[in-house]
Amino acid sequence: MAICVEFPNFKPMNQQELYMQRCLDLAVLGAGTTSPNPMVGSVIVHGDTIIGEGYTSPYGGPHAEVNAIQQVIARFGEAEAERLFPESTIYVSLEPCAHFGKTPPCADLIVSKGFRKAVIACLDPFAKVNGLGLKKLQDAGIATEVGVLEEEAKWLNRRFFTKLKEFRPYVILKWAETTDGFFAPSDAQQRWISNGASKQLVHKWRAEEDAILVGAATAAIDAPSLTVREWEGKNPIRVVIDKDLTLDLDTPLFDASAETIIFNAIRTDWQGHLKFIALENFEMYLPQQILYQLYLMDVQSLIIEGGKKTLDLFIKAGLWDEARIFVGDMEWGDGVPSPRITGKLLQQTAVGSDKLRILSRV
């Protein structure tokens, strides 16, 4: 649900688009493991049959194209695979890399296998790749086609594209509200609004993103751990805004289960998994400062879970990309009003007794 590649203007797909859709479906399997690299899927087609497929391994491992090629070799043996490659088309949801990073360039591997054609959904905006991977294929005489399901592919890797183009993480706002629009009790006590199924979905989302942020008041009142417990996956980096360092270090937010960043106005200090980062002129452009610091730390995506003051801070600054809002099946009559936000409705669905609305800023 977190990775949505559905579009309202859906049209029937031709065969090329079906193969590329398979690339996108494969790419999603890498959610939460590939950052700061993008999620990429690849399929290899011989005639009208998929003979190999793959998606990007966890960060530092082989890319999608490598895994697809290796699957062909594993299935058919090296000699037969080398015969099949020049008769085959490779589909990939993002331009093959052209530089040495954690792994060798995928464009070079595709050239070495002599593929007949390469079909690419969209170009990679990363400076060391942008157009260079495509050029390597074309210079080698491989027929190329770019733009098959391009918008869907860009949406899938919206985190990666945002980080490269806007020099900040992709920001997801998340909260729950009552049917009459209240966010929290007025007496500052903890009170659940959403149901168990929604809670499990939130843990799935946490496993898919790089970091998660709350304000000091939320950390003090709710004592959240902000870890992944009801889903399988890695814990996100925990981020808290605590200007005057008022939070008790015994709070669950500071335990050793995940790296934790504390943005404050007093000190910069590294203590094992705790990273205290002092921001100059703390009250000035606070959302911008936080997002830029996280960008410098290679954080590609961020969930902001509250509280209301923190959410409003990013909403007012226009520094959000997606809002995921649960509406519970209860009325309170009074309380803290939920954040007010406008955007494009991407999705509306039921999660048990809750309603989930997902908005985009643009």
Residues in the chain: 362
> Is residue 269 a known part of a binding site?
no
> Is residue 99 a known part of a binding site?
no
CA distance 146 to 319: 31
> Is residue 206 a known part of a binding site?
yes
Per DSSP bridges, beta strands 88-92 and 117-120 are parallel
> Is residue 22 a known part of a binding site?
no
Residues 6+ apart with CB under 8 A from 166: none
CA distance 262 to 52: 45
Sign of CA dihedral 303, 308, 309, 312: positive
Tokens of 205: 């989302």
Neighbours of 21 (CB within 10 A): 20
Catalytic residue from among 53, 65, 209, 322:
65
Q: Which of 230, 170, 171 is nearest to 200 (CA)?
A: 230
Residue 307 class from Cβ within 10 Å (0-12 exposed, 13-18 middle, 19+ buried)?
A: buried
Neighbours of 70 (CB within 10 A): 14
Active site residue 87: no
In the chain the first and final C-alpha atoms are separated, in Å, by 19
Residues 6+ apart with CB under 8 A from 12: none
Asked if 277 and 261 touch (Cβ cutoff 8 Å), the reply is yes
> Is residue 302 a known part of a binding site?
no
> Is residue 122 a known part of a binding site?
no
Q: At what angle do helices 15-28 and 64-76 cross, to 10 degrees?
A: 110
> Is residue 4 a known part of a binding site?
no
Amino acid identity of 276?
F
> Is residue 203 a known part of a binding site?
no
Chain center to CA of 21: 19
Asked if 24 and 226 touch (Cβ cutoff 8 Å), the reply is no
Chain center to CA of 204: 12
> Is residue 255 a known part of a binding site?
no
Binding region for NADP(+)? 176, 192, 218, 222
Binding region for Zn(2+)? 63, 97, 106
Binding region for substrate? 206, 226, 229, 305
Binding region? 63, 97, 106, 176, 192, 206, 218, 222, 226, 229, 305
User: Where in the sequence numbering do the catalytic residues fall?
Assistant: 65
